[in-house]
Amino acid sequence: MPKAEPVHSPKNRVGDLKIFGGSPAFIEKLHVGRPNVGNSQKFLERVNDILKRKWLTNNGPYVDEFERRVVELTGVKHCIAICNATIALEIAVRALGFNGEVIVPSFTFVATAHALQWQEITPIFCDVDPQTHTIDPNEIEKLITPRTSGIIAVNLWGNSCDITKLEEIAAQRRLKLLFDSAHAFGCSYQGRMIGGFGNAEVFSFHATKFVNTFEGGAIVTNDDDLARATRLMQNFGFTTYDQIACVGTNGKMSEISAAMGLTNLESMDDFIAVNRRHHKQYEEELTGLPGISVLSTDEKEQCNYQYVVLEIDADKTIVTRDELLQILHHENVLARRYFYPGCHRMEPYSSSQLSLPETERISNRVLSLPTGTSITPADISSICGIIRLVVTDGGEISERLRGETR
Ligand code: T4K
């Protein structure tokens, strides 16, 4: 597909916006989560090798090598490659013996909650910290009941949770602790790579993640017994050709996915460098705009910078987050309001009428913006130009938008 190029019609006035009759800023749509692809030649060589070997899946050599690379990169003892992170969460939940109730943040992708509910374990939704958007440890204690068996904490956007506090709570209350680190591959906490905390962690290598295996995920753990159990469960429970040790599923990663993963891992540093530059550019170009901030990362830690998260305080911008989203979509900038409205407000979980003030506040003000190797600095300047115009002329824009829908 041809690269999205800005149309040469600068957005100087409100009337230049597509929503009010101007031409769109981009001819092609700009996506959040456009896949990064490393050296495609190298990938195709691997694919040819796979075809020659005629070993396509079931723990082949590429999956082995991919697991070893993840172990090297994270410093964790075991990596079990899985077909996607949702199944990885489900397997980890089962292998850890979670049952009854498990405490999870509501502000996460719905797969975190589904991995529990799918196994008839009740997710108990917890509020999040306004700075990091991760589970608030101070809220957890209130939610623990005799039925609580564990916590799934999410290292959302690659920002780590307060892991020290979570490990303390888990130890004191004898709860299992699983990290959904779908966003946090390549990130660190207090200088240690994410992956080795709690009882286990789960990564996602979905196409939209900065390192992708098309679809893919992994369970990582330092616990030998847990590693053995998850490896069995990921392959129907087979110990040998015809011996079954436990209930299992098919969570295997295919060789072609592992080949993609290995290829992309070779470019991982470049992907991070690009993401980091983009993140910085967004921060710089949007700095000082009233009501607009880019969620920051801890500069002392390693980060993959794969999400650029904008926070919009509508009291100051006048234009709401959803109006800005609508305007950006008209300009072909497909920003996303991840993870609106919070799991506790989503259909399968919304019956409780639970109120989680921070989750509700944050999920009404965040937007994820395009980044990654498909986006250029010029694209970012154009996107920031639109946001600047919208905020600067917020009064006029909101009046026109609201007038038109009256
Ligand atoms: N835990 C957390 C905290 C998660 O965020 C996720 C997944 C999981 C667990 C489960 O991981 P997996 O089971 O998926 O491994 C996307 C991803 O599908 C999902 O992996 C991700 N989190 C979630 C945050 O985002 P959608 O609904 O946004 O996908 P979609 O198809 O709308 O794609 C997003 C954008 O990327 C679109 O603008 C199109 C573009 N895109 C997408 C794909 C797949 C491309 O340009 N090319 C592509 O191949 O969920």
- Between the CA of 189 and the centroid of ligand 1 the distance, in Å, is 24
Helices 255-266 & 40-53 angle (0-180, nearest 10)? 150
Predicted TM-score (pTM) above 0.85: yes
pLDDT digits (tens, 9 = 90+) for 110-143: 999 999 999 999 999 999 999 999 999 999 999 9
Cα–chain center distance at 302: 16
pLDDT at residue 11 in the model = 87
Is residue 252 helix, strand or coil?
strand
d(CA 243, CA 241) in angstroms, rounded, equals 6
Beta sheet of 292-294, edge-to-edge order: 292-294, 308-312, 366-369
- Between the CA of 209 and the centroid of ligand 1 the distance, in Å, is 8
How far, in Å, are 164, 250, 320, 329, 398 from residue 406 at the CA level?
51, 52, 16, 21, 12
Instruction: Tell me the average pLDDT of the chain.
Output: 95
d(CA 406, CA 202) in angstroms, rounded, equals 47
In this structure, the residue with its CA closest to atom 36 of ligand 1 is 33
pLDDT at residue 2 in the model = 47
- Between the CA of 207 and the centroid of ligand 1 the distance, in Å, is 7
Residue 353: pLDDT over 70: yes
pLDDT at residue 238 in the model = 97
Q: Percent of the chain scored above 70 by pLDDT?
A: 97
Ligand 1 atom nearest residue 209's Cα: 20
What mean pLDDT comes out for the span 241-270? Answer: 97
Pocket-forming residues, ligand 1, beta carbon under 6 Å:
31-35, 84-86, 108-109, 111-112, 154, 180, 182-183, 204, 206-208, 217, 334, 336, 338
What mean pLDDT comes out for the span 262-288? Answer: 98
d(CA 181, CA 199) in angstroms, rounded, equals 13
d(CA 149, CA 18) in angstroms, rounded, equals 51
- Between the CA of 203 and the centroid of ligand 1 the distance, in Å, is 13
pLDDT at residue 5 in the model = 56
Task: Compute φ and ψ for 186, nearest 5 degrees.
Answer: 85, 5
pLDDT digits (tens, 9 = 90+) for 314-346: 999 999 999 999 999 999 999 999 999 999 999
